[in-house]
Amino acid sequence: MTGGPASAPAAQEQAGEDRIVFDLDGVRERYATLCRELPGVDVRFALKACPVDEVLECLVGLGSGVDAASMPELEHALRAGAPLARTHYGNTVKSDRDIAAAHRLGVRDFATDSPEDVAALVRHAPGARVYCRLATTGEGALWGLKHKFGCSPDDAVDILTTARAGGLVPSGLSVHVGSQQMNPDAWRAAFERLDAVLAALGERGIVLDHVNLGGGLPALDYLDRHGDPLRPPIDKIFLVLREGVAALRRAHGAHLGIIMEPGRYLVADHGTIHTRVVRMTARHLPDGTRQRWLYLGVGKFNGLYEMDMLQYRLAFPSHPAGRTVPAILAGPTCDSDDAYTSAHRPVRVPEDLASGDPVRIASCGAYAVSYMTEGFNGFAPLPRVCTGGAR
């Protein structure tokens, strides 16, 4: 998890408080790359990945729509200037009250995956456009997302048929192949499922106008379990997406609009946590082995919630070179879960770290802010700093 030059002089790092810094220029570049690689795709930023005003306003200013999962997110999107027609309620789990509130707000696009939800939409969002979410296996992703959401192809046909009978507009199908999806074949399998359901719906006289390919596009700068770059096959993923879109349009009409809901891909690699060493310790375990622990000013509850699954790239500005040793990474709270607990796998860190030494943690732009507690053990959420400015 070590490596890479520091983004600020060591003295500045020493003087500053713990914080998370977002590089808006990097976010702009990533959005431009996505639009270039997938021309004509309607990008709707998955707000849950980074509900930071400046980041959201940056993306909306570039032309992005928004995928929101709750009433507060919908309101946040609209305050940032997201166009109502390209802001959708992408959560299949929602109460009657929230459906009605979103409909009053002017939201007309809703995700669904159950007949019960469709019945609620008929009652509380008359005339709404519905997207039925298909289940996927999630294989190849760090987070498969395969249990809570989505329905079978047969159920999707029945759900959209029921929606039409209730006065809703069957508008689209959606999928999500899992977060940080590393396997291009996951999208290929999703396209095959989408194709089959579109054909089955056509037999019932239901012609959809959109397909939503969801999220899943990976961040590019995480490390693998050995501390080497993870290297997602992003070029191959884009190729599979372009080929799949072209095939769907050949089979089901050039009118078919394509939506994607990237979150992690757009923001993860452009958020950096600036923190410090709390303490480096060494102690003997019951079996007699000696184990080092590196406690940082941030941990699972204030910025590194995903540390069980991810290895982040670490930099130590005051220790640019020198001998390194293995240590278990942990946060500052009085909670044993606040640690890199995946088999207590150690990472390489400078041997002579001292309390107060600055540490920079890269690729924290996705979900770090979303998952912060309000102050577990008194450790407050990280202040947010954005660089790059408005354009």
Structure confidence at residue 341 (pLDDT): 63
90, with CB counted inside 10 A (0-12, 13-18, 19+), is buried
Q: Which long-range contacts (CB under 8 A, 24 or more apart) does 239-246 make?
A: 239/184, 240/184, 240/185, 240/187, 240/188, 240/191, 241/37, 241/38, 241/187, 241/213, 242/37, 242/38, 244/187, 244/188, 244/190, 244/191, 245/38, 245/41
Q: Which of 7, 1, 6, 22 is nearest to 313 (CA)?
A: 1
pLDDT digits (tens, 9 = 90+) for 48-61: 999 999 999 999 99
Q: Which CATH number is 24-267's, of 3.20.20.10, 1.10.10.10, 3.90.1300.10, 3.40.640.10?
A: 3.20.20.10
Query: 10-19+269-387 and 24-267 share one CATH topology?
Result: no
pLDDT digits (tens, 9 = 90+) for 77-130: 999 999 999 999 999 999 999 999 999 999 999 999 999 999 999 999 999 999
pTM reported for the whole predicted model: 0.92
Q: Which of 90, 112, 186 is nearest to 143 (CA)?
A: 186
Phi-psi region of 49 (alpha: psi -120 to 50; beta: other; left: phi over 0): alpha
Q: Are 55 and 22 in contact (CB under 8 A)?
A: yes
Query: For 275, which DSSP code?
Result: E
CA distances from 243 to 30, 179, 180, 186, 238 (A): 21, 21, 21, 14, 9
Cα 251 to chain centroid distance, Å, stands at 31
Q: Which CATH number is 10-19+269-387's, of 2.40.37.10, 1.20.140.10, 3.30.70.330, 3.40.50.300?
A: 2.40.37.10
Residue 344 confidence class, pLDDT cut points 50, 70, 90: low
Q: Residue 249: pLDDT above 90?
A: yes
Q: Where are the domains of the chain?
A: 10-19+269-387, 24-267
> In the structure encoding, which two tokens stand for residue 352, read together?
């002579």
Mean pLDDT, to the nearest integer, of 380-384? 92
> In the structure encoding, which two tokens stand for residue 140, read together?
């190849």
Structure confidence at residue 9 (pLDDT): 41
Structure confidence at residue 390 (pLDDT): 59
Structure confidence at residue 115 (pLDDT): 97
pLDDT digits (tens, 9 = 90+) for 177-216: 999 999 999 999 999 999 999 999 999 999 999 999 999 9
In the chain, the N- to C-terminal Cα span, in Å, equals 34
